[in-house]
Chain A
Amino acid sequence: MNAWWTTEFYLDAQTTFHDSTVYSGFKWENRFRLLKREHWINPVLYAEFEDINGTDKTLKEVVGHDVELDYVKSNAQARQEHKREMELKLILSSNTKGWNFSENIIAEKNLSNEPWEFGYALAASRPLALKGSARRCTFCRQNFIVGAEMYGGLGDRHSFGLRKTSHYLAPVGGWNLPSGWTLRVSPGFGLNDNSHKFLLRWGVSREIKGFDQVLRHMFAAKS
């Protein structure tokens, strides 16, 4: 949107093998840059509203007492559950010598009568080369990002702490293609008995430059 606010909207669906494919809800994410200048640590406030059902098995982050057992219900059972949640994150990031360090403190509230849940995420990543290449190339080292992340739950307002929470440690790899596409993969390993033993998170994304202008023209043309 602008230099201090970015917003994203997602319509989510999921497929469970030997079960079904279902629409699981929508999410609206917003990130607000809090300080005018760059500092050693740069805070960003993240606010998300989501209207989802129980089939949403996205594990972008872990909060509260999220454990492996939460994910074993069939889609038919899980879709009976309906959640409207507000999530707030304070994202602290630092850039030094090509490394990006990021610490997330997460607070999530189901808007029905449930307590605030907490979580954390820590990550460090770096491109394989810091200098830009003088020619377009798909396999230049600068296009590859490697790192590691750790994330997990911290209980809720009534039982804050590590008891009955799950935690993961995962290497992270990213590949920015010259065409504008980005591929990311993060194979995570559960660190305790409440965690999934193995979790493969991956994503494909493409930034659409000037999308706001396209919308503006589209709506201006109709009005």
Chain B
Amino acid sequence: MKLATGGLLLCAMLLMIAQLSANSVSTRPGLHSMQFHLGGDTYAELRKAPDKAVNRPNPMENDPEAVAAGRLLFTDHCAECHGDDARGGRKGPSLRVSEVQNASPGTLFWLLTNGAVRKKMPAWSKLPEPQRWQLVRFLKWPGLAQTAPTEPESKP
């Protein structure tokens, strides 16, 4: 009897998760292309960074291994939503666009730390601060647009 109750609850939960997931995707245009299509204010969250955060320099800027480390962190934590090559995926927008590339390192660090809850971007404060800066270094690396995501790159 208890097993049956548990089974029923599990089925109900799976259906609910599937339904929520389906709803969240079906409201987006262009599902067939498996890409997250950009709304007008997709990157608006970047403009909300306070001045103090915007002006923070990246302490990993001159670290020769920061890009390679950031790439691995990106693969582990970001690629699921933003795509392996940061061009955008089913859940997250492209990070190669000018809004992101022209944002200061401090702005990207602020967004990574705080997330954008209403836009489904989680806060990554659980990652140690140096790792968040390494991610920022990778995102701001000029070679990002030209390089395949799986190529090792220890010295950009």
Name A residues whose Cβ lies closer than 8 Å to a Cβ of B: 1-4, 7, 9, 11, 23, 25-26, 28, 33, 36-38, 42, 51, 53, 82, 95, 97-98, 100, 127, 130-136, 142, 209-210, 212-213, 215-216, 218-220
* Partner-contacting stretch, out of B35-43, B67-75, B98-106, B141-149: B67-75
Chain A residues with CB below 8 A from B15, complex form = 219
Please classify the interface of chain B as helix (H, G, I), strand (E, B), loop, or mixed, using the class held by over half of its residues.
helix
Given that A9-B13, A134-B68, A134-B69 are contacting pairs, would A215 and B21 also be in contact in the complex, using a CB cutoff of 8 Å? Answer: yes
Which has the most chain A C-beta neighbours within 10 Å: B70, B120, B125, B154?
Answer: B125
With A26-B6, A135-B68 already in contact, 9 other A-B pairs whose C-beta atoms are closer than 8 Å: A1-B20, A23-B2, A25-B2, A51-B5, A95-B125, A132-B73, A209-B80, A215-B21, A219-B18
Number of interface residues of B (CB under 8 A): 45
Chain B residues with CB below 8 A from A28, complex form = 9, 13
A2 to B115, CA, bound (A): 11
A38 to B113, CA, bound (A): 7
The answer on a CB contact under 8 Å between A3 and B6 is no
Residue in A7, A33, A135 whose CB lies within 8 Å of B117: A33
Please classify the interface of chain A as helix (H, G, I), strand (E, B), loop, or mixed, using the class held by over half of its residues.
mixed
Residue in A25, A136, A218 whose CB lies within 8 Å of B18: A218
The answer on a CB contact under 8 Å between A42 and B125 is yes
A82 to B21, CA, bound (A): 34
